[in-house]
Structure 1
Amino acid sequence: MKKLWMFAAIALAVLTFTTGSVFAEDTLSKIQKRGVLRIGTDPGYMPFELINRKGEVIGFDIDMAKMMAKAMKVKLEIVSTAWDGIIPALVTDKFDIIMGGMTVTQERNLSMNFSTPYILIGQSILLKKELAGKVKSYKDLNDPQYTVAGKIGTTGEIATKKLIDKAKYISFDTEQEGVMEVINGKIDAFIYDLPFNSIAANQKGQGKLVHLDQPFTKEPLAWGIRRSDPDFLNWLNNFMSQLKYDGKYDEIYNKWFKEDAWLKEIQ
């Protein structure tokens, strides 16, 4: 009997050491107890998350976050975070989930888990107007005579360094910097996600730049959470399925990708 109790005590100690607690509380339980869902995002990625004239964060992801919080019966807290530090902030529990138009990559998946992707996008090119007709694809840009740019820490940066590696590359902290540098003729091209580039080209670039709108990568976007949290992951995937079954996903998608009424909130 003593040996049995000793074995049980050792097993308990090992479990406590490896998990931090015998009954470690999962994220979903913490959210319900706290009464607040905390999402991490980097406002500025139209139309997924952006700041309107009132200083409010709005967007495709934000509308889904509001519905998510409503389904959980909790309040929503938006934690604005710089993109290059958003994964460390998630890992250190600054918020519960990344909802920021994040592309699923194997490298990111090493330090976090992803939900089922909710949209498929790709990289496109905002091109200096003087190069119209001369540069027709990313392959034409792959030349030392050109200077191309992306946003630091993004898959656009990864794709550029991999597929346009012969061109001179520089990075910016924000998407807006990249767009304006193309418009001002300081760089030849800005590589970024198609949805953002389409809006930027229509909003700021008409007659000032060219949008090569045929994406040259395929990138699934998903929500990111901390590892070892199967209950939260299961809830998120079921939540997304329900949104699509109910038609709510299509409503939100059409609002941000097929309609442009929201542009009045930022102009």
Structure 2
Amino acid sequence: MSKKWIVSIVTGILMAALVLAGCGGQKSTENQAKKPVLKVGTEPSFAPFEFQDETSKDYTGFDMDLIRAIGKELGSEVQIQSMGFDALIPALASGNIDIIISGMTINPERAQKVSFTKPYYQSGLTIIVRADNTAIKGFEDLPGKRLAAQIGTTGAEEGKKITDTTVREFNSPAEAFMELKAGGVDAVINDRPVNDYYLKTSGTKDVKQVGNPLTAEEYGIATAKNNTELAAKIDKALEALKKNGEYDKIYEKWFGKRVQ
């Protein structure tokens, strides 16, 4: 066999090896691309649970850290989608998103439309008034008053149950606080962590929190009504995060030491 033929054969073998290697690399890339995606719906104006960082524009907060940790536990890529709070459940029902995490209180009405995970956070409603307001000391003083709350929240629902009140609903808690400071309403009803976070970060002396919390509310992650399998997987991931200490780390980052 001539050297020319030997060179041709060796060259052919090398080219075939390169083609196979290229196919292998492409297959590896395709496998990585097939990592399951978890489409998460949220209304990012509910600090400290979900809000948009002013500098990076990333979605951040307790819920955002938690769902990314859950996604990692599930081996899924988390994609956050921003939308209005009242659009979340319809988006879930239509399949545009896989889950909702948005400081959503578990209640019977919502449970008819979605499947909830086990509670991941316990909250309650509190009141913010202007600093010079001495007439409102608690929920018992709210009848006949002008109230503000975020649209679609339990704060708005509870406000409407109070006798002779007018409840104005806003797209975000920040807008409700602005209306309070402007004198357009007498009080804001919000989930306690939202009120606490506002008082802590705003540094304002113009408003104050009064009274004891009303109700004990539990937040849950929602999946489509027929997708109980995904809800069970999230429950399992959440339990793992609590056991390995990751949940406590996230909690303490946003709220301080967790009381067991």
> Which residue number corresponds to residue 148 of structure 1?
147
Deviations 1:78-129 (A, max 9, x none): 0101001110011101111001110001000111110000111001111122
Query: Which residues in structure 2 correspond to 1:227-266 (within 5 Å)?
Result: 227-258=225-256
Report the TM-score when normalising by structure 2. 0.82
| Residue of structure 1 aligned with 2:109, choices 82, 101, 107 | 107
Aligned-residue offset at 1:200: 1.0
> Which residue number corresponds to residue 209 of structure 1?
207
Alpha-carbon distance in structure 2 between the residues aligned to 1:34 and 1:96: 15
Alpha-carbon distance in structure 2 between the residues aligned to 1:218 and 1:63: 23
Query: Which residues in structure 2 correspond to 1:16-165 (within 5 Å)?
Result: 35-53=36-54, 54-132=56-134, 134-142=135-143, 144=144, 146-162=145-161, 164-165=162-163
Alpha-carbon distance in structure 1 between the residues aligned to 2:181 and 2:202: 9
Aligned-residue offset at 1:33: 5.4
Pairwise CA RMSD: 1.6
Provide the secondary structure at the position in 2 that maps to 1:102: coil
Aligned-residue offset at 1:131: 1.2
Structure 1 residue ranges without an equivalent (≥5): 1-31, 260-267
What is the aligned length?
A: 224
In the superposition, relative to structure 1, how do residues 213 and 199 fare at CA in structure 2: closer, same or farther (>3 Å)? farther
Structure 2 residue ranges without an equivalent (≥5): 1-32
Alpha-carbon distance in structure 2 between the residues aligned to 1:71 and 1:84: 29
Aligned-residue offset at 1:34: 6.1
Alpha-carbon distance in structure 2 between the residues aligned to 1:235 and 1:40: 18
AA matched with 2:240: Q
In the superposition, relative to structure 1, how do residues 34 and 91 fare at CA in structure 2: closer, same or farther (>3 Å)? farther
Query: Which residues in structure 2 correspond to 1:6-25 (within 5 Å)?
Result: none
Aligned-residue offset at 1:165: 3.0
> Which residue number corresponds to residue 25 of structure 1?
none
AA matched with 1:246: N
Alpha-carbon distance in structure 1 between the residues aligned to 2:169 and 2:229: 38
> Which residue number corresponds to residue 184 of structure 1?
182
Alpha-carbon distance in structure 2 between the residues aligned to 1:95 and 1:176: 26
Report the TM-score when normalising by structure 1. 0.80
> Which residue number corresponds to residue 21 of structure 2?
none
Residues 69-78 or 116-125, more deviating: 69-78
Provide the secondary structure at the position in 2 that maps to 1:122: strand
Contact 1:61–1:100 (CA<8 Å) still a contact in 2? Answer: yes
Alpha-carbon distance in structure 2 between the residues aligned to 1:188 and 1:99: 30
Provide the secondary structure at the position in 2 that maps to 1:71: helix
Structure whose alpha-carbon radius of gyration is higher: 2
Contact 1:183–1:205 (CA<8 Å) still a contact in 2? Answer: no
AA matched with 1:236: I
Contact 2:160–2:166 (CA<8 Å) still a contact in 1? Answer: no
Alpha-carbon distance in structure 1 between the residues aligned to 2:207 and 2:76: 44
Aligned-residue offset at 1:72: 2.4
Alpha-carbon distance in structure 1 between the residues aligned to 2:167 and 2:227: 38
Alpha-carbon distance in structure 1 between the residues aligned to 2:203 and 2:156: 21
Identity of aligned residues (%): 32
Contact 1:128–1:187 (CA<8 Å) still a contact in 2? Answer: no
> Which residue number corresponds to residue 24 of structure 1?
none
> Which residue number corresponds to residue 193 of structure 1?
191
Contact 2:150–2:172 (CA<8 Å) still a contact in 1? Answer: yes
